[in-house]
Structures are given as C-alpha cells and as structure tokens.
Amino acid sequence: MRKNIVAGNWKMNTTVAEGVALAKEVNDALAQNKANCDVVICVPFTHLASVAAVIDQNLLGLGAENCADHTSGAYTGEVSASMVASTGAKYVILGHSERRQYYGETSATLREKIALALANNLTPIFCIGEVLAERENGTYNDVVKAQIEEALFDLSAEDFSKLVLAYEPVWAIGTGKTATADQAEDMHAHIRATIAAKYGQEVADNTSILYGGSCKPSNAAELFAKPDVDGGLIGGASLKCADFMGIVSAF
Ligand code: 13P
C-alpha cells in the first residue's frame, strides 16, 4: 500500500550553515519522536552534500528541488540528476509551479528530467496544479489531467510506480489560502482515477499523492485525514523545525 509522506521544499532559502543547522534540528527531532510517515527535506543544490553528511536518511530523506534535462556537458549553471544522486540525495522535486511559471518548464522538458531522475535512482516528486483562473472557470480537473498525461503517460507502469505526485493549487502556494480538505480530496480522487484509467487500480492505489499549498500544523490533520491525501509538500512551514514537526505529527 502507498506511503504517507511529509516533504519539505525549502525553495531559495537559507545559507549552507543555516540549512545544515535546520536539517540537524529536524533529524534530531525525528530521532526523539519517531514519525508515523516518511519525512523528506528538499533543499538547494548548494546544501545537498553538507546536509547529507549530518542526517540519518533512515529518519529523514533528502532531495533536490530540480535537476537538469540533459545528462552532462555544456549547460552552464545546470545541475544534473547524476550530480544530485552523487550527493546522497534520493528525491527530486520536478515540475514545481514556480519552475513552470518563472523558468518556462514545459511537459517536454519535464519528460526528460523525469527520465534522467529515474535513470539515476532518484524518486521524482512530480508537481501538478491549476492557477486561480482555472479554479474559477471550472477547468481545473482537465488542466491537472493534461499535466499528468503530457508529462507522465509515456512511462511504463513500472516506472510510473516509482513516482510521488504532489497536487499544489498555485493559488494556495505561499498565499495563506489553503484548499479546503474537501477540495483537496476531490482533486486527489480525480488524480487517482486518472492514473487508474491508464495504469490500473493497483498502480493508482499504490501512488502517494501529496497536497501542497499553505499547509501548516493547524490544517494538516484535516487534510491528511482525507482518504486520497497521502501527505504534504510543505514550503514556508518547512523552514521552522517546530512547524514542520507539527505537520509530521498530524499522522
Ligand atoms: P507553501 O507551503 O509556502 O504555501 O508552499 C507550498 C509549496 O510550493 C511546496 O512546494
């Protein structure tokens, strides 16, 4: 059966020293209070090797926030999936709405990134979600279905089974406006049905689908209680150990 996961996305925050201190604090908190779910932090590239050295990945998984869509070579400033894996990281966030919106990521580039992440034994945490206008004009189910079909449906069932999905309504990210637990459940059930129609019910039932967008200790329990919500992808609240642990302990 699918795993429950709480994953932090630190985005472009913290220096290396601050990030190492935060990672240690989270690791120590998990050593004291064993979590009832998998816990992951996704951190800036610059931090990966230093954070890997101070955490126990049996307690706290480590991931990157992106990787390149090429294997290696003349791509100044890019960081490849094999470089990420060489730090000891096991996960990579792909297709975050901020990457789609500000850096022009398309389903075509995301297909390359997913293939390279999988080839390097990284677990992609693949993000999907509609913008406010699409929520308001009622096209959100179609938008999210298309994001999944375009980026993921050329994968074999075996490869698809290695993914974690994260539904992040763009209008709820960093806005303090959380999707209601019912809105999240409706979309997660739609995502699972979309997967089932392509890969079968067993693959769909085994896929972890996380919710992201203004998730915090005060709303995590209600969201995670929904049958199709298998955890969270946490931005702002992952930057404070107490808040992050408050969300982890919702399971
Ligand atoms: P916030 O939790 O800050 O709304 O961010 C959500 C997010 O984008 C996680 O990837």
Question: 177 pLDDT exceeds 90?
Answer: no
What's the confidence (pLDDT) of residue 162?
98
Mean pLDDT, rounded, for 195-220: 98
Ligand 1 cavity residues, CB under 6 Å? 9, 96, 168, 173-174, 212-215, 233-237
| pLDDT band (50, 70, 90) for residue 1 | confident
From CA 16, how far away is CA 7, in angstroms rounded?
Answer: 19
| pTM (global) more than 0.75 | yes
| pLDDT band (50, 70, 90) for residue 196 | very high
> Which residue in 180, 241, 237, 174 sits closest to 32, CA to CA?
241
Tell me the CA–centroid distance for residue 82 and ligand 1, in Å. 26
Catalytic residue among 168, 185, 188, 190, which?
A: 168
Work out the burial of residue 170: count CB atoms within 10 Å of its CB; fewer than 13 is exposed, 13-18 middle, 19 or more buried. buried
What's the confidence (pLDDT) of residue 225?
98
- Atom number, ligand 1, closest to the C-alpha of residue 97: 8
The radius of gyration of the chain's CA atoms, rounded to the nearest angstrom, is 17
Contacts of 21 (CB under 8 A, 6+ apart): none
**CA 58 to each of CA 38, 49, 66, 166: distance values in angstroms, whole numbers, following the listed order:** 9, 16, 22, 22
From CA 16, how far away is CA 230, in angstroms rounded?
Answer: 30
The pLDDT tens digits for 106-156 are: 999 999 999 999 999 999 999 999 999 999 999 999 999 999 999 999 999
What's the confidence (pLDDT) of residue 113?
98
Is 188 part of the annotated catalytic residue set? no
Tell me the CA–centroid distance for residue 212 and ligand 1, in Å. 6
Contacts of 173 (CB under 8 A, 6+ apart): 97, 98, 212, 213, 214, 235
Tell me how far apart the terminal alpha carbons of the chain are, to the nearest angstrom.
16
Share of the chain above pLDDT 70, in %: 100
